[in-house]
Amino acid sequence: MAAPHENRGSADDAPGLAARRLAATLIDEVLRAGTALDETFERMAATAGLEPADAGLARAIATVAFRRLGTIRQVVGARLERGSPRNSGPFEPIMVAAAAQLLFLDVPDHAAVDLAIRHLHEDSRSSRYVSLGNAVLRRLAREREAILANLDPLANTPDWLRQSWTTQYGPDVAMAIAAAHAEEPPLDLTVKSDPAGWAGKLDGIVLPTGSVRLRGREAVTGLPGFSEGEWWVQDAAAALPAHLLNARPGERVADLCAAPGGKTVQLAQAGAQVVAVDRSGPRLRRLKANLDRLGLQAEVVTADASTYEAEPFDAVLLDAPCSATGTIRRHPDVAWSKRPEDIAKLTALQARLLDQAGRLTRPGGRLVYCTCSLEHEEGEAQIEDFLARTPGFARDPIKPEEIGGQAEALTPQGELRTLPHQLAGETPRLSGWAGFYACRLIRS
């Protein structure tokens, strides 16, 4: 995509145009630069000067656009007889944003179409194709029901990921993963105590693993217990690795690549003496803020975990940087911002981090390695290679009762492998969890 013409808008903007302008710019930036949508939104929204409602709408449009990008490209492309016009500036991201509204958001058709046309007029490169864009968008609105009746979940999965998941898990599971990604993600909480009580107060469900899943979509900062530090937001699958470390009161525990800190606070809540290590200062400031709100303590160290030196720990948790393909349901831009070549770079980094984590684990100590990735190279293969080159470590198999009886999330070797379509709930939106891999090792 070509960079959209920068237009900050003015007081004369039609209502809602600034939100659509930001949405199209977000879509373009993420696809061109491979940046994360959350970080891109925070940066752009800070300077856009939009009302909170408009900023929220822009983010919602961009999120849905990435969740359904394959479908949107197919249906728009099928209605462009000569394909997307060349040298058309922001034509494509504007069309993607408008199609997302017409097909998948509760936005009046006339607003989606009219504001897209106004946006096309703002750039001389795209203004030449106003009539074409208008015709295509009005046709999408007319044919919406037929389009929605024939959706293919795998259309929204890039080819390389589709091939990867089909090879690793088989075609049926690959389809189930893609179908789960099409749903809006649930919101899970880890509570300090009394999950059933908090589920009752917050209109939630206690999951088999102990997390509380909310039925509603309210802003979390206004919910009971937030300001009192009684719980924190954490995907149910993301809560498992720290639990599997079995940290005990008084133990020295290292949380490597710790930010933004969900696992750190779990370990601190267990009574461990936690050292949280991460190279990102801004992310560690967020971690410290979470600790303060929750009334918990941890030593926070700004350092590269692959070279961090300290006295060996009783237990080490390494949540390694990864492709994050297990988080696509919550972060749909990941499917389109990551590339196959990213995996090779990440696995090399993971191996260095894992080696250092091993050195930081005392004899008799425990090491849990985890990634929020669905890719075998970043999980099972990484551990196989580590065990082959590192004498003295062995798997400590995870038992079903440690993860709420969810045996389908365990491999034959006793490793954790959660998949997005697992954990059936009351509705599709209240089902599933992130894709995580974790392995628990013991140093002899």
Catalytic residue among 322, 370, 372, 439: 372
DSSP 343-387: HHHHHHHHHHHHHHHHHTEEEEEEEEEEES---GGGTHHHHHHHH
CA triple 42-153-337, angle to 5 deg? 35
Residue 157 burial by Cβ neighbours in a 10 Å radius (0-12, 13-18, 19+): buried
Helix intervals (H) in 128-158: 130-142, 144-148
Tokens of residue 139, six digits:
């046709």
- Tell me how far apart the alpha carbons of residues 187 and 375 are, in angstroms, rounded to a whole number: 24
In the beta sheet, which residues pair with residue 357?
A: none
Instruction: Say which amino acid occupies 320.
Output: A
The DSSP element (H or E) to which 438 belongs, if any, is strand 436-443
- Tell me how far apart the alpha carbons of residues 220 and 142 are, in angstroms, rounded to a whole number: 38
Dihedral pair phi/psi, residue 8, rounded to 5°: -75, -5
CA triple 430-432-438, angle to 5 deg? 145
In the sheet with 187-191, reading across from the earlier edge strand, the strands are 204-206, 212-214, 187-191, 231-233
The beta-strand segments (E) located in 164-233 are 187-191, 204-206, 212-214, 231-233
Whether 372 is a known active-site residue: answer: yes
- Tell me how far apart the alpha carbons of residues 348 and 296 are, in angstroms, rounded to a whole number: 34
**Which residues neighbour 181 within 8 Å (Cβ) at sequence distance 6 or greater?**
67, 153, 156, 157, 328, 329, 332, 335, 420
Active site residues: 372
